[in-house]
Amino acid sequence: MDFAFTEEQELLRDSVQRFVRENYPFDKRNKLAETEAGFSSENWAMFAELGWLALPFSEVDGGLDGTVIDTMIMMEEFGKGLTLEPYFPTVVLGGGAMRRAASPAQREAVLPGVIEGTTHLALAYAEEQGRYNLADVATTARADGDGFVLNGRKSVVLNGTAADWLIVSARTAGKQGDAEGVSLFLIDSSTKGIDRRGYRTQDGGRAAEVTLEDVRVSGDALMGEAGAGLAVLEAVIDEAIVAIAAEAVGAMTALNAATVEYSKTRVQFGTPIGKFQALQHRMVEMFMETEQTKSLLYRAAMSMDSGRPDAARCVSALKVQTGKAGRFVGQQAVQIHGGMGMTYELNVGHYFKRLTMINSLFGNIDYHMRRFAALDGTTEAA
**Under the rule (CB under 8 A), what is the footprint of a second copy?**
276-278, 280-281
Residue number with CB closer to a second copy (276 or 367): 276
Residue number with CB closer to a second copy (188 or 285): 285
Residue from 176, 182, 282 nearest 226 by CA = 182
**CB-CB contact of 196 with 162 (8 Å):** no
Pairing of strands 165-171, 121-124: parallel
- Please state the closest distance from residue 276 (CB atom) to a second copy, in A: 5
Residue from 56, 128, 50 nearest 90 by CA = 56
- Please state the closest distance from residue 277 (CB atom) to a second copy, in A: 4
Interhelix angle for 365-374 vs 311-337, to 10°?
Answer: 150
Among a second copy, another protein, none, what binds residue 27 when CB lies within 5 to 8 Å by partner kind?
none
Among another protein, a second copy, none, what binds residue 302 when CB lies within 5 to 8 Å by partner kind?
another protein
Residue number with CB closer to a second copy (265 or 277): 277
Among another protein, a second copy, none, what binds residue 1 when CB lies within 5 to 8 Å by partner kind?
another protein
What is the rounded radius of gyration, in angstroms, for the C-alpha atoms of the chain?
21
The length of the chain is 382
Among another protein, a second copy, none, what binds residue 136 when CB lies within 5 to 8 Å by partner kind?
another protein
Residue number with CB closer to another protein (117 or 341): 341
Among another protein, a second copy, none, what binds residue 37 when CB lies within 5 to 8 Å by partner kind?
none
What letter does residue 92 receive in the DSSP assignment? I
- Please state the closest distance from residue 114 (CB atom) to another protein, in A: 24
**CB-CB contact of 186 with 167 (8 Å):** yes
Residue number with CB closer to another protein (218 or 335): 335
Angle at 136 between CA 135 and CA 140, to 5 degrees: 95
Tell the burial category of 5 from Cβ atoms under 10 Å away from its Cβ (0-12, 13-18, 19+): middle
Residue 375 identity (one-letter amino acid): L
- Please state the closest distance from residue 271 (CB atom) to a second copy, in A: 11
- Please state the closest distance from residue 208 (CB atom) to a second copy, in A: 37
- Please state the closest distance from residue 109 (CB atom) to another protein, in A: 29
Residue 183 identity (one-letter amino acid): S
Please tell me the distance from the alpha carbon of residue 189 to that of residue 191, in angstroms, as a whole number.
5
Residue number with CB closer to another protein (117 or 349): 349
**CB-CB contact of 230 with 135 (8 Å):** yes
Residue number with CB closer to another protein (60 or 257): 257
Among a second copy, another protein, none, what binds residue 181 when CB lies within 5 to 8 Å by partner kind?
none
Other beta carbons within 10 angstroms of residue 9's beta carbon come to: 17
Among another protein, a second copy, none, what binds residue 190 when CB lies within 5 to 8 Å by partner kind?
none
- CA trace torsion 268, 272, 275, 276 (10° rounding): 20
Residue number with CB closer to a second copy (223 or 279): 279
Residue from 312, 316, 326 nearest 358 by CA = 326
Pairing of strands 182-188, 222-223: antiparallel
Residue number with CB closer to another protein (218 or 295): 295
Among a second copy, another protein, none, what binds residue 35 when CB lies within 5 to 8 Å by partner kind?
none
Contact partners, residue 264, CB within 8 Å, separation at least 6: 272, 274
Among a second copy, another protein, none, what binds residue 353 when CB lies within 5 to 8 Å by partner kind?
another protein
**CB-CB contact of 286 with 332 (8 Å):** yes
What letter does residue 330 receive in the DSSP assignment? H
